Amino acid sequence: MGSTCIIMQKYSDPCTPQTLENIAYDSERKFHVPECAFHEVYPNIIIGGESSALDKGLLRRLKVTHVVNCAQGQQYGHVDSDEAYYQDTNIKFYAIQASDELGFNIAPYLEPTAKFIDQSMKEGGRLFVHCCMGFCRAPTVVISYLMIHQGMDVREALTLVRSKRVVCPNQSFREQLCELNERLRKSQL
C-alpha cells in the first residue's frame, strides 16, 4: 500500500458483508438495477454498463479519457473490448477478467486497478469504469479505489457510490471489500 492509504477511523465496529448489504439495499430491503446507463459517482469517475462503454460517440461526448473494463472476455456475462477497440479514440484502456459469481476472487485485481484509476486521475483523466450492467464488478473496483487512494472506509465509499447509482457488490465481493478494509485499517495502526 502506498502512503496515500489512510482509512478513516470513525468506524469502531468491524465491517461485515451484511453491513454492506444493508447500505446497498433501499429502505424496503430491495435493490433495483440502475435506471440509467451510467452515472458519475465521484468527480471524473463514471460507472456504467456495456452498451455505454462500447458507444465511442457517447464516450467522446462525456469527454472520457480512460476506460476500465471490469468484465473483459467473450463468454456470457463479459464484455468483449480491448485496447484495439478504442485505438481510434485515444482512450487509454485497462481491463480485468472478473466474473460476477459467488466465490470469484476479485481481490488480486483491486489494488492494480485502483492504481490505474489513481494514475489516470493524477493525469487529469475522466474515467468510464464498467462491467455488463455497472452494478456489481465496476462498483467494487471503484469502491476499492476510494478506499486505497482516497482514504475512505468501505462503508463510506459504498454509501457515496450508492448515493449516485444503484449498486450491489455480490456477497463474495462484499466479503473481499471488508477484508481489504481491515488490511488498510491495520496498516494505519
Tell me if the pTM is above 0.85. yes
Cβ atoms 52, 68 nearer than 8 A:
no
36 included as an active-site residue: no
- In the chain the domains, ranked by start, together with CATH numbers, are 17-24+35-187 (3.90.190.10)
Kindly list the strands in the beta sheet with 66-69, ordered across the sheet, starting from the edge strand earlier in the chain.
38-42, 45-48, 127-130, 66-69, 92-95
Q: Which residues pair with 43 in a beta bridge?
A: none
Cβ atoms 59, 89 nearer than 8 A:
yes
Can you tell me which residue has the cell 456477497?
171
Which one is catalytic: 15, 70, 131, 178?
Answer: 131
DSSP three-state, residue 64: coil
Q: Return per-residue pLDDT of the chain as tens, 189 residues.
A: 343 444 445 556 788 888 898 888 866 655 566 678 899 999 999 999 999 999 999 999 999 999 999 999 999 999 999 999 999 999 999 999 999 999 999 999 999 999 999 999 999 999 999 999 999 999 999 999 999 999 999 999 999 999 999 999 999 999 999 999 999 988 876
Q: How far apart are CA 96 and CA 113, in angstroms?
A: 8
Q: How far apart are CA 177 and CA 181, in angstroms?
A: 6
